[in-house]
Amino acid sequence: MKKALRIIGKIVLGVLVTIVVLLLGIFIYNRIKLADDKDVINNQQLSQMVEVDGQMMSVYISGEGKHTLVFMSGAGTPCPILDFKPFTDRFDEDYRIVIIEKFGYGFSNEYDGSRDVETRVSQNRKALEAAGITGSFILCPHSYSGLEAIYWAQNYPDEIEAIIGLDMAVPRSYDMCDDSIIQSVKSSDSINRLLREIGIVRLFVGGTLPDDFTDEEKKIATAIICNNFGSKTASNETDYIISDLALIDGMPMPDVPILLIISDGTVTEGWIDFEMNYASQLSDVTTVQLNCGHSVYDYEPDKCEAAMRGFIDGLD
């Protein structure tokens, strides 16, 4: 029995040593590759970097036209420009296209200050101004950034021509959030940051990228994800969900034309009801229901484009 235990002990020790050596090798390799990532990020030509509140923020601009469409990503989207670009390229010939990358997203820096909705919208507006983009804007938020679009329209209606919600969240989408859920999300983000720091994320990131990305786009996306996955700045937005909802609920509903492109609701229980109930309270709203997942612009780009163009034509 003692001999068997010694053998088992040696096997367990050998396995542990192998795991430690393997993790150390992954960590060292990742640290070496991070220098290459920095070069890729610092030399990127996709976006314009502008100074906002002492840090650098990324803004993508393309196309020309009477209307300016400002795309705003969902929570935690690692590379908003690369995420939206296959869809926004459809509009380049007819509209001016802008994609905002908030602090902690894409090419933008991290930010230590408040991540409440008031600050996020303020920084979005400053970034557009610094990039020379003047209103009015058609805001095109996906998911969580719907709260920012609503707050923007509530407080600066003269800047907002319309809102096109790409399955955007509305306030009631987050009523289930309490301290335990928020802490669970924060803990998950912390684990993601740890996996990034060790280098585990680098081992698997290639398999998560879209097949239609070019080699250059894959290189850029890999660099961003291996530097920003689980971004603390993006994660800190979660701390303000409850107070953001109270702030938004305390103001009148947005009084601008709104198009809500709605998914099949599989993102969370009750999603479609949240969207339709919100729509029923608006003075000028159009709804389009799609039978697809949450990233409607990715799953049904043709239907989204048709709905958006028809809606924008109706604004003229």
Q: What is the pLDDT of residues 46-77, one digit of tens each?
A: 999 999 999 999 999 999 999 999 999 999 89
Residue 146 has pLDDT above 70, yes or no: yes
Q: Which domains does the chain have, with CATH numbers?
A: 44-315 (3.40.50.1820)
Is the pLDDT score of 15 beyond 90?
Answer: no
pLDDT on residue 190: 94
- What distance in Å separates the CA atoms of residue 287 and residue 258, rounded to the nearest whole number? 8
pLDDT above 90: residue 160: yes
Pairing mode, if any, of strands 48-52 and 55-62? Answer: antiparallel
- What does pTM read for this prediction? 0.92
Which of these, 313, 295, 315, 303, lies nearest to 71 by C-alpha position?
295
* Mean pLDDT rounded to a whole number for the chain: 94
Q: How confident is the model at residue 87 (pLDDT cuts 50, 70, 90)?
A: very high
- What is the per-residue pLDDT for 114? 97
- Residue pointed to by tokens 């163009």: 309
Q: Are 295 and 187 in contact (CB under 8 A)?
A: no
Residue that is written with structure tokens 């820096």 in the block:
109
- Give the pLDDT of residue 304: 98
